């Protein structure tokens, strides 16, 4: 979605990014075809955008910007990838209008939230074998509204909400598949780009850093497991064509990941590169040589260069006056004025007719109001208790499958099992060590009714406290 031209008339722009407990900011100025970096800022942030008061967060942002002498109001925001939900849909050979209907239907069924509560964007791609896919990416609308409130409190005007890493490369026909990793303070952002730049996968690698020893350490085993999961989520022919892995970032965390990655991905053999600075030729403007890559910089640079980002989540803003002018031309406005004058003459008769109609329909409503109320109450109860009216003994089947997956020697045990409608199972417990837990998860993944096993939490090494979830598919085919 391209912004309105008026929003791009300024020559300066502020880029913001939230990463764990810190705020990144960068101030850019465009002069003709060149961009100058005026100021950069990285400050600790004790408030959480999704849980703390947006007004307090906005005041904290404003204070940090004032102390740095940054007065620019227009800003872009790099959305954290962990806020995003993704869904991939394979596209059959259908007319464009039918394909769009198919994508909308898959989005309604595939995302765990109602479509009205999400802001959705999509990209299209083709694999090396020619198969077409649509990658749907959504962010909860409440997340965006909270962020907008915080920016208003900070006296800022957002012009773009988009994740940084997918915007780093400009789509082109000669671009090969790329797997890019951008480490943050607590996790690693990952994106897989198909040939010609289509977005094939977007996710966050959680739990790859160990903080228990007091120092931040990269967990190689966890990173290896997450890379295996990632490769299993992309089409096979795209996986076979993926020969380039890129670590993005100019900091110690990125350097450590670049040095460790060949060991973590020893089951795989792609070439690994370290992208410390902005790649040349990827932006429509000239940037200073050896400019470090950052989450705050990438969306701001795309916007100030008048280029589209692949995923835009800023809600459209249309003023009432603009909507009125867009709907009616000048002649129509004049005609409406004439009609309004004529209606004013007949307003007395109109009121009389209206009262008669209201009396008629009110009497008809009174005749059926009691039955309508009873039916609404019945429908509410049906929606409330439908998830519990299940004669398939699903709970027992889930517990049986979990029991069969856990080892008999007691090295892995469950403390709690929660089944959330419609089909999510959450299990917490402890294991003697991580090897025992990983073996249990592999056995659970082999079950035909189990899909999308994800580890939410893993603490300690011996013993290991864990929480994982999966989707239960009662009707899965063996």
Fold classified for 5-78+144-157: Nucleotidyltransferase; domain 5 (3.30.420)
Which pLDDT belongs to residue 179? Answer: 92
Q: Do domains 5-78+144-157 and 82-139+163-295 have the same CATH topology?
A: yes
Q: Provide the strand spans (E) within 20-164.
A: 22-31, 34-44, 74-78, 85-91, 118-126, 132-140, 157-162
Cα–Cα nearest to 150, from 41, 43, 83, 77: 77
Class of 82-139+163-295 in CATH: alpha beta
* Eight-state DSSP code of residue 176: P
Backbone phi, psi, residue 447, to 5°: -70, 135
90 within 8 A of 184, measured Cβ to Cβ = no
Helical residues (DSSP H) of 267-315, grouped into ranges: 297-304
* Residue 386 pLDDT class (50, 70, 90 cuts): low
**Class of the CATH-defined domain 394-472:** alpha beta
Nearest to 263 by CA among 319, 326, 220, 313: 220
| Residue with more model confidence, 51 or 478 | 51
User: Rounded to 10 degrees, what is the CA torsion of 82, 83, 89, 91?
Assistant: -110
Q: What's the confidence (pLDDT) of residue 366?
A: 85
Given a cut of 60, whether residue 4 has pLDDT beyond it is no
Report the mean per-residue pLDDT for the chain: 85
Mention every residue, 6+ apart, whose C-beta is less than 8 A from residue 49: 18, 57, 143, 146, 147, 150
| Domain edges within the chain | 5-78+144-157, 82-139+163-295, 320-389, 394-472
Whether pTM exceeds 0.75: no
CB 440 within 8 A of CB 406: yes
Q: Whose CA is closest to 61, among 159, 52, 145, 292?
A: 52
Higher pLDDT: 423 or 299? It is 299
**What average pLDDT does range 412-429 have in this prediction?**
89
Going by the DSSP 8-state scheme, the letter that residue 234 receives in this structure is: S
The secondary structure of 327-351 as a DSSP string is H--HHHHHHHHHHHHHHHHTHHHHH
Residues 235-285 have pLDDT tens digits of 998 988 888 899 999 988 899 999 988 888 777 777 889 999 988 778 888
| Residue closest to 26 by CA, chosen among 263, 382, 389, 301 | 301
Of 3, 25, 31, give the one whose Cα is nearest residue 72.
25
């Amino acid at each position: 979605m391209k912004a309105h031209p008026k929003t791009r008339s300024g020559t300066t722009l502020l880029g913001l990014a939230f990463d764990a407990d810190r705020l990144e900011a960068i101030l850019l100025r465009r002069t003709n075809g060149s961009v100058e970096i005026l100021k950069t800022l990285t400050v600790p942030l004790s408030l959480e955008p999704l849980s703390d008061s947006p007004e307090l967060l906005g005041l904290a942002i404003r204070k940090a910007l004032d102390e740095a002498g940054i007065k620019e109001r227009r800003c872009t925001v790099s959305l954290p990838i962990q806020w995003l939900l993704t869904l991939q849909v394979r596209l059959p050979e259908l007319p464009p209008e039918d394909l769009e209907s198919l994508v909308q239907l898959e989005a309604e069924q595939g995302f765990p939230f109602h479509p009205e509560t999400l802001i959705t964007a999509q990209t299209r791609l083709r694999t090396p074998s020619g198969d077409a896919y649509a990658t749907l990416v959504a962010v909860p609308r409440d997340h965006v509204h909270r962020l907008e409130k915080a920016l208003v409190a900070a006296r800022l005007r957002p012009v773009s909400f988009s994740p940084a890493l997918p915007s780093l490369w400009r789509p082109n026909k000669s671009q090969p598949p790329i797997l890019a990793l951008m480490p943050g303070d607590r996790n690693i952002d990952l994106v897989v780009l198909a040939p010609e730049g289509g977005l094939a996968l977007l996710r966050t690698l959680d739990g790859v850093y160990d903080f228990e020893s007091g120092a931040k350490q990269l967990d190689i085993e966890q990173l290896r497991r997450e890379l295996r999961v990632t490769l299993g989520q992309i089409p096979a022919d795209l996986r076979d064509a993926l020969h380039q892995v890129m670590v993005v970032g100019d900091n110690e965390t990125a350097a450590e990941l670049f040095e460790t990655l060949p060991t973590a991905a020893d089951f795989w053999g792609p070439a690994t590169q370290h992208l410390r600075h902005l790649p040349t030729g990827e932006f429509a403007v000239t940037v200073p040589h050896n400019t470090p890559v950052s989450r705050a910089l990438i969306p701001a640079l795309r916007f100030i260069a008048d280029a589209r980002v692949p995923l835009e989540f800023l809600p459209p803003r249309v003023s009432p006056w603009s909507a009125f002018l867009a709907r009616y031309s000048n002649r129509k406005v004049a005609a409406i004025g004439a009609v309004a004058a004529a209606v004013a003459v007949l307003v007395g008769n109109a009121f009389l007719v209206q009262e008669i109609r209201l009396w008629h329909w009110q009497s008809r409503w009174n005749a059926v109001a009691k039955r309508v109320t009873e039916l609404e109450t019945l429908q509410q109860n049906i929606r409330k208790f439908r998830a519990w009216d299940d004669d398939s003994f699903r709970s027992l089947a889930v517990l049986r499958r979990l029991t069969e997956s856990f080892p008999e020697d007691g090295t892995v045990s469950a403390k709690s099992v929660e089944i959330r409608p419609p089909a999510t199972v959450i299990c917490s417990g402890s294991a003697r060590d991580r090897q025992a837990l990983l073996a249990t998860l592999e056995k659970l993944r082999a079950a035909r009714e189990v899909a999308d096993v994800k580890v939410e939490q893993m603490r300690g090494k011996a013993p290991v406290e864990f929480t994982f979830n999966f989707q239960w598919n009662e009707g899965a085919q063996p």
